[in-house]
Structure 1
């Protein structure tokens, strides 16, 4: 987000912290995700709420009427706060509600200092999908009912992952919002890392890294980016040697395959 939307996002995120202190955060997360689905379905409603020409009080009043009998006061408060803010695009408004839903979902894990576990579990599920194309196909098949997809996720992660991880994976599977499943999982992972006040680095390497090399890499990246780094490591023999590191949109490619591709591009040019 940029400009007005970025400022609004920072403000509503800061106020969300006060709500999380006293709310049933798991229930709040579920209800906020339901609001995201509602806004995705109801184009006219979303357009009206995002229109900066409409009074903020009227927007929050409408949200109160729509949600008061179906959601908790905490949900009404959070969504009301979002719709009163100013957004550059309709999608930015929905993104803000989704972001609040993620932060509510992981709030308990955050309090119990288990966010690292959530990051690892989301990444491992993404790797599981890459190794099992039939599973991925089933979870992304529009003809498969969402209730069935949710049951598959629950079966796969039961007693193996934090409940917050299961909730986020289920959301990524059943309400992708136009994202590839892997992209949705990565996005949620970045939000978890943001809540932990660190960046996520996706490291692709031809061979597994020792604990010592991982720690040295974390130290170097933390020095570069000025924030603690969480490593997600993907061992991929196809890159032949070296490693590539992606932090956000920045890529440091030191792989043999990457250098060969660069040579090919130059020759082709």
Structure 2
């Protein structure tokens, strides 16, 4: 995001935290309402342009939001979105991205309150692994068709795969992602959600790929080493891939720590080729 949108998003995050600090607020219902607003703004190009027009007064934009949304979504969502449009946004897409993030965060807050955030984080990662290793499933859930029938089919497939097997929050998050990918790949969207879940616990996520499963002692040593390196707790999401031959490879965000035999063989081949 550009500077103005980053500042506006930070302010929106703070408003969401302040709002959900009140345990009387139903975070899951708020997430559903914010997701509905995301869908509205994603469809209505002219509306989101008006709401991010720097020539329009912030209070005028907030009043427009109140007129449009009151009675359609809960009061908490109306207040949050009207406050958000008062800020200055660098682009109309930035506003929609922000409200979508607020919806996902509200669902993760609901999971945190229910004591199932760890499970949600793990389930998102595991489903991401399933998708990444199944081209047929990825294709079925990534069909570029916005017709109601196609969207309903994708949501139905997610329910068939996940209902009763994962937390309700996990199912909601994945369904929203496949219904409205908004230009993201399914893999990238699932990875982003998993990272957001980890951030709720103030920790980083490390995707660890090894040739064979790590035992408890190895996981503990690796987790401790990464925590010292990054200065915060690190959640290990473990993946086994015999193709790495030996050792491990660790990815945290955009940073990759190479330590596999396959990596070293690739490096030798590159040097010989050069």
User: TM-score, normalised on structure 1?
Assistant: 0.93
In the alignment, the residues of structure 2 paired with residue 258 and residue 38 of structure 1 have an alpha-carbon distance, to the nearest angstrom, of 46
Of 111, 117, 127, the residue aligned with 2:119 is 117
RMSD: 1.7
In the alignment, the residues of structure 2 paired with residue 88 and residue 265 of structure 1 have an alpha-carbon distance, to the nearest angstrom, of 43
Who is 2:42 aligned against?
A: 40
In the alignment, the residues of structure 2 paired with residue 265 and residue 83 of structure 1 have an alpha-carbon distance, to the nearest angstrom, of 51
**Per-residue deviation, 1:266:** 4.0
In the alignment, the residues of structure 2 paired with residue 266 and residue 80 of structure 1 have an alpha-carbon distance, to the nearest angstrom, of 57
Shift in CA distance, 53/268, structure 1 to aligned 2, threshold 3 Å: farther
Q: Which moved more, 1:244-253 or 1:11-20?
A: 11-20
Who is 2:167 aligned against?
A: 162
**Per-residue deviation, 1:204:** 1.3
In the alignment, the residues of structure 2 paired with residue 63 and residue 266 of structure 1 have an alpha-carbon distance, to the nearest angstrom, of 60
**Tell me, which stretches of 5 or more residues in structure 1 are unaligned?**
none
Residue-pair matches, total:
269
User: TM-score, normalised on structure 2?
Assistant: 0.91
Of 51, 54, 62, the residue aligned with 2:53 is 51
The answer to whether structure 1 residue 185 and structure 2 residue 190 are counterparts is: yes
Who is 1:140 aligned against?
A: 142
In the alignment, the residues of structure 2 paired with residue 242 and residue 178 of structure 1 have an alpha-carbon distance, to the nearest angstrom, of 35
Q: Which moved more, 1:89-98 or 1:170-179?
A: 89-98
The answer to whether structure 1 residue 67 and structure 2 residue 83 are counterparts is: no
In the alignment, the residues of structure 1 paired with residue 87 and residue 28 of structure 2 have an alpha-carbon distance, to the nearest angstrom, of 24
Who is 2:267 aligned against?
A: 262
Map 1:190-201 to 2 at 5 A.
190-201=195-206
Who is 1:221 aligned against?
A: 226
Map 1:77-92 to 2 at 5 A.
77-92=79-94
- Partner-residue secondary structure (3-state), 2:166: coil
